[in-house]
Structure 1
Amino acid sequence: MSDALLNALAEALADLVTSIDTCDDDVLDPDIAVKWLETTSYLLDRLSPADRRALSALVRRAAARQPDGAWRDDLLRIPEEFGLDDDQHELYCDAVEHLERRFVETVRDVDPATPVPTCPGWTFADLVKHHGTTHRWMEHLVRTRAAERVRSRDVPLDLPEDPTAYPQWLAGSAERTLRTLRGVDPETPMWSHGADQRVRFFPRRLLFEAVVHLADAELALGVEPRIAAGTAADGIEEFLENLPHYSWIAQPVAALANGSVGLTATDTGAAWTISFGGGGFAWTKSDGAAAAGIEAVAGDLLLLVYGRLRADDARFAVSGDRTVLDAWLAATAL
């Protein structure tokens, strides 16, 4: 989706909402106005924190294009009235809390020896232990305001001896992590293993750890993962932003021949164009020309990016040079 289209849609939404909100009662029934605004609020609440932040910026830019006056002031109130400027750090923490609850409920009664096909060689015990260890590690990093890398093996895990107790241990570990994250200024500088060297990096990273590993568990149980489109799109961008900092991926990507891949989310219209070759890669949030393209709903694209689904799955529509797409997916496989 182009920037021009995004700006036009944001301005149209802002104008419509403001018109409804300021309309005289003799022109529009107040009960109908409230219903329309509540529906809009419900839909905006379902956006990911990143999308809410982006929409807020678009609405403010739309307001800035208006002359000074009451109409411009009304437009500027929209982000606050719809909570678009709510604390992004807290929104990510809330999202993690919700996902971890679902994760624990999903794995609680599963035999720990059950295989996880999307993580070859792993069982449910391995999956839950890994995810809980990630929580313990990140909690330790944030609590100590780590200035350099700390290995997860050097962090106390308090892991139960009985694997059937792992889900409850994970629940406690997640609760502990969220308590620490919520108690720290998200702008606090510290070491992270990604692009953002601040505390606020961690809840976003934990969210997509939870999204992907919940999908691992669900796929192993024959359940179709349910990933909100906005969350999935944010996850794709989070992956691309941090990729240069993941040496085990960045190095194979640097060895790729020149090429480009386009990803298009059929449910939202979001698109990403990835270019690589010459020892590096770049990406834009746009529907640009690419040597290979792949289309699907955003949730499936996220699982493709993380290697949980294969490009030859019937849910994907592939175009262009398939060898370029396969090379990119092989280089970025986790």
Structure 2
Amino acid sequence: MSDALLNALAEALAEVVTLIDTCDDDLLDPDTAVKWLESTGFLLDRLPPADRRELAALVRRAAGRHSEDGWRGDLLRVPDGFGLDDDQHERYCDAVEHLVEEFARAVRDVDPSTPVPTCPGWTVADLVKHHGTTHRWMEHVVRTRATERVWAREVPLDLPEQPSAYPDWMARNAEAALRTVRKVDPDLPMWSYGADQRVAFFPRRLLFEAVIHLADAELALGREPRIAAGTAADGIEEFLENLPHYSWIAERVGALPDGSIAFLAEDTGAAWTISFGGAGFSWTKTASAAPVAVAAPAADLLLLLYGRRRPDADHFTVTGRRAVLDAWLRATAF
């Protein structure tokens, strides 16, 4: 791609975003404006950090071609508005830190024997132990720069005797994991059990471990999970990217009859169509024709994919062949 084209695209993006952001409410519905901007932010969040920084530089260069007026200032705010200069690796780490703190607060004073309905057979103690084990295992894997699979059972847990002490143990493990991950170049190649064979795999995976298990805890306590739409959309893509590498799921998906499902995020405008069957598993970021379509806010779609919501809940509009969706959900259950 030529420099001229890159500059033109960056300037066009900045101008459109600024027009949407500064448009009067009587000309553009504010909810529509927010939806468009959130969709744009989600797409930009998926760019590698180097590309995000380059885009920020191109937008500032475009702003510099305008005179010293309000429009120039509006354009200069675009990179900050989308966090283009932020380190995505650090952003994932910050998000994990915040969610782990929320999780610890949610479970610290709860009876450890409280059932967790979204994880049949588990109690809150089991949930906290699992979450803490994941952090301890990932810290070990990244610190040792693993080149092949390491099983969690191979990592000493130092688990407290009393389940009531599990939340603080989990929090300490999370702190250790984040200290280790933050010190390592995210582009460093290493083993992972997912699609991304770099250190960068681990903070992103920890984020969605935290998102889903915080939701488990909240639902167990009778609360509604609150997941930001952009985070949920990223979580959907992280799930789809890694699914072929989860052998215990990929085998079940490979045994399904040919089918496809369209997922539509009503709040961000994002869409994904998954296909499976004899030709293998694939997905696109489009709303293609499919035997069944599911529409809901992005957070509810994420919880559906992880089996934390059922498709007959009020959150979802399902059209088409429900049996195709049900078969997919059974095959992908963790």
Q: Same fold (TM over 0.5)?
A: yes
* 2:140 corresponding residue in structure 1: 140
1:16 to 9, 14, 19: 19
Aligned pairs, number:
304
What residue in structure 1 maps to residue 45 of structure 2? 51
In structure 1, distance between residues paired with 2:297 and 2:108:
29
What TM-score do you get using the length of structure 1 for normalisation?
A: 0.82
**Change beyond 3 A, Cα 1:118–1:18:** closer
Quick one: distance in 2 between partners of 1:108 and 1:9?
Answer: 50
Give 1:196's aligned residue: 196
Deviations 1:95-153 (A, max 9, x none): 00000000000000000011101101100110000000000000000000000001100
Give the CA deviation at 1:15.
4.9
- SS of equivalent to 2:282: strand
Contact 1:253 1:331 survives alignment (8 Å): yes
- 1:37 corresponds in structure 2 to none
- Structure 1 stretches of 5 or more lacking a match? 1-5, 21-39
- Tell me, in whole angstroms, the C-alpha distance in 2 between the residues paired with 1:130 and 1:47: 32
Cα deviation, 1:43-85, whole Å, max 9, x if unaligned, reads 88x9669636489769949x69x999825xx799666544313
Change (3 A) 1:49 1:294: closer
- The superposition leaves residues 254-283 of structure 1 with CA deviations (integer Å, 9 ceiling, x where unpaired) of 111111100011111111011111151110
- Show the counterpart of 1:28: none
Aligned to 1:280, the other structure's residue is in SS state coil
Instruction: State yes or no: 1:270 paired with 2:270.
Output: yes
What is the match of residue 5 of structure 2? none
Once residues 11 and 216 of structure 2 are traced to their aligned partners in structure 1, the CA distance between those partners, rounded to angstroms, is 38
Structure 2 unmatched runs, 5+: 1-8, 24-33, 67-71
Letter in 2 for 1:290: A
Q: How much has 1:303 moved relative to structure 2? A: 0.3
Give the corresponding residue for 2:155.
Answer: 155
Change (3 A) 1:230 1:68: closer
Identical aligned pairs, as a percentage? Answer: 64
TM-score using structure 2 length:
0.82
Provide the rounded CA distance (Å) in 2 between the counterparts of 1:250 and 1:223.
32
Gap change, CA 1:18 and 1:130, over 3 Å in 2: closer
Q: What does 1:217-232 correspond to in 2, within 5 Å?
A: 217-232=217-232
Answer yes or no: is the 8 Å Cα contact 1:267–1:298 preserved in 2: yes
Q: Aligned to 1:172, what secondary structure does the other structure show?
A: helix
Quick check: 1:47–1:231 contact (8 Å CA) kept in 2?
no
| Structure 1 residues 323 and 10: alpha-carbon distance in aligned structure 2, compared to 1, 3 A threshold | farther
Separation in structure 2 between the aligned mates of residue 207 and residue 182 of structure 1, nearest angstrom: 14
Q: Deviations over 1:1-45 (max 9, x none)?
A: xxxxx999945444539999xxxxxxxxxxxxxxxxxxx9xx88x
Amino acid at match of 2:229: A
For the aligned residue pairs, the C-alpha RMSD in angstroms reads 3.3
Correspondence for 1:84: 84
